[in-house]
Amino acid sequence: MRSLLVIALLLAAAPARAGCPDPTELNADAIARSRDACRPADRFLVPSLTGGALHVDGDWWGVIGGQLALVSWRHPAPFAGPSHGELTIGAAYASKGPRHLVLLEAAARLSPERSAGRTFAIPFVGAAIGKNLSSDAPQAFYLAPLAGVHLAWWAGASSGHAAVSIEGQYHLPLDHFDRLRGGRVVLQLSGSWW
């Protein structure tokens, strides 16, 4: 009897809607009053600080660096497609004792969610291409698939932006594969006043 009640409740429950309201169903005043998470935002030249760890050459290296989002956007929409994304360039410095490494990288990140009606826990996927420069280890170009989550994403209606993100990458070097392949964890803090 109890299982029949559970099945009946599951069949009768309406689907939850976590997305933004459909702009075709609302007037201009309602759209203007919608939550910050549902307002579109485009930002250019957004700086970021990054920190984390890189596993390469059999060791974990501490990493600190910076990125510049050439373009960063949030476009919640009722149709399929990514709602958040960014194109970045960056540099990072890694060290392990007396050994040092510099990473130069360009990356693209997209959120697979079409219309996240929240400002936290927004997943993203992407890819990076870069080069490591070092006098202590072999130098090589690398490709890196990546996945992560925007832990928090704030954007004002007309200006201002801040985000805290964490991502994981796996470096696939085009040369010296056995020594230079490895994972990377990145914590990113970004923000702008424009």
The full set of domain ranges for the chain reads: 42-192
Q: How many helices (H) and strands (E) does the chain have?
A: 3, 8
Q: Does domain 42-192 have CATH number 2.40.160.20?
A: yes
Contacts of residue 74, defined as CB under 8 A and 6 or more positions apart, other chains included, come to: 39, 40, 41, 83, 84, 153, 155
Q: Burial, 172: exposed, middle or buried (Cβ in 10 Å; 0-12, 13-18, 19+)?
A: middle
Alpha helices in the chain (DSSP H): 2-12, 28-32, 177-180
Q: What is the pLDDT of residues 80-93, one digit of tens each?
A: 667 788 999 999 99
Asked if residues 168 and 146 have their Cβ atoms less than 8 Å apart, the reply is yes
> What would the mean pLDDT of 142-148 be, rounded to a whole number?
97
pTM over 0.95: no
147: confidence class by pLDDT, cuts 50, 70, 90: very high
pLDDT at residue number 65: 97
Please give the full DSSP string across 23-61, using - where no structure is assigned: GGGS-HHHHHTS-GGGS-EEEEEEEEEEEEEEEETTEEE
